[in-house]
Every structure is written in structure tokens, then in C-alpha cells.
Amino acid sequence: MKKLFIRVLTVCVPVLLCVFTGCGAIDMRQFNAEDISGDLTFREDFLKANRTYGAVYWNGEEDPAYAQSYEYDKTSPKFRTYIITEKSRLDEIFSVYPGIDLKKEMVVMYAFTSIYNGRKLKITSITLNNKSLEIEFRYARKMPGVLDGSEPIGRFLVLKMDKLDINTVKFTLLNPRG
């Protein structure tokens, strides 16, 4: 009887924890966070000025030898973070963006180099520590047997969320190799 009770607890406790905690899923509603990365059009001048290390960029020259028209960035930072709370800054970065009420909302953005450009990004946690926001994310799982790597390019994760009194934002990619 005692062994049966221990077996039942061994099965039930993890199941109940998963039910009551959401199996580790992040409740993005805590800060009304919404990924708007796909709803934006970046300004070309912003993209040229905000490259990331290791990404491939067109060098501006038409060359019959395709490979010589592109080069890897070797001077830019590996990542960039942005906290956007003013309309003038939105207009500097985006030519098209969804309705954002900057009186109540803000945008946080992370620029990085990625070889998994077709994969969605999943937020795993958002934590506010004093005046620092920490956001952890990962690549969504790929379909088995599908090769989805590519040349490294600059990629952006853009979140619209409740306006917070923060000084810094830190993004962490949990599975950089996919």
C-alpha cells in the first residue's frame, strides 16, 4: 500500500505542478507584452547604421561575382538593445509600425545575428528587477528533417508592452544553436 501511494504521488505531483504553474509557460500578459516583430518595416538608414557582428550585408557594389557583393560585418557589436518611449525615436527606426500608445506603452527591441531566420522566437520569461528588465527567449523548435539554417543576418526581436520605469533591458537567447 505504501509503495502504491509513493507511485501515485510520483505521477500526480508533477502533473499538478504543471497544471497550476502552466508548465513553465510565460504569461506575457503580466506586462501586456506582445511580439510585434512581424508587423514592422524598418527604415533603411536605421538598418545600415545598426548592424550586428557576423551578419552578411550587401557592400553596395554591383559585382558579377555574387560572393564579392556581400561581406561579413567584423566591426559592429554582437547585439544591440533599445528602449523606445518617444514617438520621434519610433519614427527614426520604423517607416511602418502598428498603433502604439506611448503614453501607456513602450517598445523594447533586441538586434542580433542569427542563422535561423525562418524560426519564430518564443519568450520564456520577463523579469523586472529594480529598473532593469530581463527577457529570456528561445528559437521555436524546428520540424524534424527540415534544414533551416542560412547565412547569418541581422535579426530583431521587438516587443510592445506596458510602459515601465526602466533604465536597462537585457535579452538572453537560451538556445543560440537552435
Mean pLDDT value of segment 52-78:
80
Domain assignment present for 68: yes
Q: What 3-state class would DSSP assign to 90?
A: helix
Mean pLDDT value of segment 39-62:
89
Domain assignment present for 85: yes
Domain assignment present for 125: yes
Mean pLDDT value of segment 33-61:
91
State the Cα–Cα distance between residues 102 and 33, nearest whole angstrom.
Answer: 14
Domain assignment present for 4: no
Asked whether residue 152 carries a pLDDT value surpassing 70, the answer given is: yes
pLDDT at 64: 59
Range of the domain at 57: 26-173
State the Cα–Cα distance between residues 156 and 77, nearest whole angstrom.
Answer: 14
- Cα torsion 26, 29, 33, 36 to 10°: value is 90
Q: Which of 52-56, 62-66, 104-108 has the lowest mean pLDDT?
A: 62-66
Asked whether residue 6 carries a pLDDT value surpassing 90, the answer given is: no
Domain count, the chain: 1
pLDDT at 148: 78
